[in-house]
Chains A and B, each alone.
Chain A
Amino acid sequence: MTVGGNRSKAGLVVGLGFVALGAIVAYDTAVMRIPPTYAKVGPQVFPYLTAMALALLGAFFIFQGRAGKNEALHADTKETDWTALAAISAGLLSQALLIEFLGFIISAALLFVLVAWGFGSRKIVRDSVIAIVLSGVVYVGFTQFLNLQLPAGIFKGLL
């Protein structure tokens, strides 16, 4: 961590994020309809405390960032490989969107290949073969031996 004289933009963003979260919690708690019997120590006390803590922490990080103090937030690296992050994000989101439509085998294989690409592998053919074998073995193992259901997707009726 760099000490002193180093303003941080991240501190502002993270701080505002905390404040916003606090506001959401406070709003959600305020609109809660509580039967009067529970009014005293009801389900609202802890959310309000949490909202307050979030807002205070947010303000703290904004202040520390603006004043360039010890607690100013700085990334741990100067170079960030955003393409790698995008590839892995695409893999995880496609797993969520496609698992029930295309089935586990294909969506998991896609995830594997995208993650491998994100980690710098460019041997797409090798990765795809490993991915299909892995997700196929996992699918059969889980559904046949552990008795846990996974979506078959387009292979429905075949496997």
Chain B
Amino acid sequence: MGAMESLMQGFATALTAQNLLWSLLGVTLGTFIGILPGIGPALTIALLLPVTAKLDPTGAFIMFAGLYYGAMYGSSTTSILLNTPGESGSIITSLEGNRMARQGRGAAALSTAAIGSFVAGTIGTMLLTFLAPVFVKVALRFGPAEYFGLMVFAFTAATALLGSSVARGLASLVLGLLIGLVGIDVLTGQTRLSFGIPSLFDGIDVVVVAVGLFAVGEALHIASRPDLRNAELSAVKGSLFMTREEWSRSWKPWLRGTGLGFPFGVLPAGGTEIPTFLSYMLEKKLSKRPQEFGAGAIEGVAGPEAANNAAVAGVLVPLLTLGLPTSATAAILLVAFQQYGLQPGPLLFTGSSSLVWGLIASLYIGNAMLLVLNLPLVGLWVRLLTIPAPLLYGGILVFSTLGVYSLNHSLVDLVLLYILGLLGFFMRRYDFPVAPCIIGLILGPMAEGQFRRALAISQGDPSVFLTQPISAGFLLAALVIFVAPIVFRRFRPSGT
């Protein structure tokens, strides 16, 4: 069956009244939660996981698709108006976007961000539609050794490319691996690191870790620094309809940003930070007015914002076809699949094809809804940003503990939430990236399983990872990605 045909069937699933409602609910909730400062898409989905536990899977995933894109739109609004990016991909947007807002051109910044996100999201989703079947074909040939090589590559990409230094990225990853070890080993039934506490036998729930590191950690971090507590909100000024000049300055950066963002999302190369940064540098270089950069250049919003959304669409390719999460949000989405007993990977496309293609189709629909929802209604959303910080964080923590408690009705989970919150606080305080920890937590047990399965097949001969060409290739690429930044840093002038 061709991609077009599958997609049409997907639209048939997604366009039923009920699923359209789920999509609308998803994009609305996604924008709503994404716009709250300090809350990104990963946390949004983590918080909603317990609530959606009883929905039917197709409806739930259509909602998650809406949430996934919605939270991205919401985050960019916040970073433009408040200069507090909700997730790492929006950091660059806030550079120029917030400047524009302060000069009274906030509306134009929001417009170019929203339309750019729409363009990039749509192109990205199209590329996903046609790339996914190709990936599935390749993935069907992967055995345990290949998967292990791929995961090691994803680990190194996450540690080397996220955050300020390789050592800190690695430390965060290893902490994730450590948390992933807790519980009963699936292959032998041995309990590990559970210290005789029964509720640890099933392992530490990813939702607890994500909510602890993101929500509680962020709240403790902001509260500890009085200088961060009250960010200054810029009002939306100017016209939402971009001028002819703004259009002509935006469309090329949108397309270039998409071209940069998508491949970075597809390759397990660390998510959205790098393509947004590259897009910013590229636009600055190509611009006829480089002096405007740093003082509110519209290209500096249009390019990175498109790169961000294209990367977010790209991340879905390895997630859906290989079961490989390459960003914190994708890791949480993977958990959402597992909650419904679905394992993303090549077999998902044959076993649950109506669900997968329904999800992909609803990405197109959600993206269009978001454009409508965000541009005319932006004034309404902005009101959310006027909630005073004490009440906002009070509410966020009430919902965080609620979400965690309703997972298993376990008090141990609430204590763990606090401990992980403290960990998240110290990670922020000492500048450790959080995303590698989540990726390590999800991928660690998967990598271990593939590693042991590969060795069981080869009867204990470890050379299997190096004699299989695909696996050896991934391991080599992992080595390169690890060594390259160290070499690169040696030759880079300081101060960047």
Question: Which A residues have a C-beta under 8 Å from some C-beta of B?
Answer: 1, 10, 14, 18, 21, 24-25, 28-29, 32, 34-35, 38, 40-43, 45-47, 50, 53-54, 57, 60-61, 64, 70-71, 73-77, 79-82, 84-85, 87-89, 91-93, 95-97, 99-100, 104, 108, 111-113, 115-121, 127, 130-131, 134-135, 138, 142, 146-150
Contact = CB atoms under 8 A, between A and B. Distances in A.
Contacts of A54: 174, 178
Given A21-B178, A34-B188, A92 B401 contact: yes
20 contacts: A14-B430, A28-B195, A29-B192, A40-B455, A42-B188, A71-B167, A71-B168, A76-B225, A79-B227, A88-B397, A89-B220, A91-B397, A92-B417, A93-B415, A97-B411, A108-B398, A111-B397, A118-B390, A146-B54, A150-B402
B474 interface: no
What secondary structure prevails in chain B residues at the interface with A? helix
Given A1-B164, A80-B225, A116-B393, 16 more contacts: A1-B431, A14-B426, A32-B190, A32-B192, A43-B185, A43-B187, A50-B174, A54-B174, A61-B167, A77-B224, A88-B219, A97-B411, A99-B405, A104-B402, A115-B390, A116-B394
A25 B390 contact: no
Contacts of B161: none
B428 interface: yes
A108 B401 contact: yes
Contacts of A53: 170, 174, 177
A82 B460 contact: no
Interface of B: 50-51, 54, 164-165, 167-168, 170-171, 174, 177-178, 181, 185, 187-188, 190, 192-193, 195, 216, 219-220, 222-227, 229, 388-391, 393-395, 397-399, 401-402, 405-406, 409, 411, 414-415, 417-418, 421-422, 425-426, 428-431, 444, 448, 451-452, 455-456, 460
A114 to B, nearest CB: 8
Nearest to B173: A53
Most buried by B among A54, A104, A115, A121: A115
Contacts of B222: 119
A23 B162 CA distance: 27
Given A75-B430, A92-B421, A60 B391 contact: no
A93 B430 contact: no
B398 A96 contact: no
Given A10-B430, A100-B411, A120-B226, A115 B397 contact: yes
Contacts of A76: 225, 428-431
Given A38-B188, A57-B171, A71 B165 contact: yes
Nearest to B174: A53
Nearest to B395: A134
Given A74-B430, A81-B223, A119-B390, A47 B456 contact: no
A90 to B, nearest CB: 10
B224 A81 contact: yes
Contacts of A87: 223
What secondary structure prevails in chain A residues at the interface with B? helix
B193 A84 contact: no
A146 to B, nearest CB: 6
Contacts, number: 197
A46 B456 contact: no
B398 A41 contact: no
A96 to B, nearest CB: 4
Contact of B229 (A42, A120, A147): A120
A85 B391 contact: no
A38 to B, nearest CB: 5
Contact of A111 (B193, B195, B394): B394
B401 A111 contact: yes
Contacts of B388: 121
Given A79-B225, A100-B411, A108-B402, A113 B460 contact: no
B448 A46 contact: yes
A138 to B, nearest CB: 7
Nearest to B455: A41
A113 B223 CA distance: 14
A148 B229 contact: no
A22 B289 CA distance: 53
Most buried by B among A71, A96, A112: A96
Given A10-B430, A76-B428, A146-B51, A81 B398 contact: no
A95 B224 CA distance: 20
Contact of A95 (B395, B401, B456): B401
Given A71-B165, A96-B415, A99-B411, A115 B174 contact: no
Most buried by B among A76, A87, A150: A76
Given A115-B219, A146-B51, A93 B418 contact: yes
A81 B222 CA distance: 10
A121 B192 contact: no
B167 A120 contact: no
Nearest to A42: B188
B177 A50 contact: yes
Contacts of A77: 224-225, 227, 429
A121 B51 contact: no
Contacts of A28: 192-193, 195
Contacts of A127: 390-391, 394
Contacts of B178: 21, 25, 50, 54
Nearest to A82: B224
Given A53-B174, A84-B223, A41 B190 contact: no
Given A41-B455, A50-B178, A150-B406, A79 B226 contact: yes
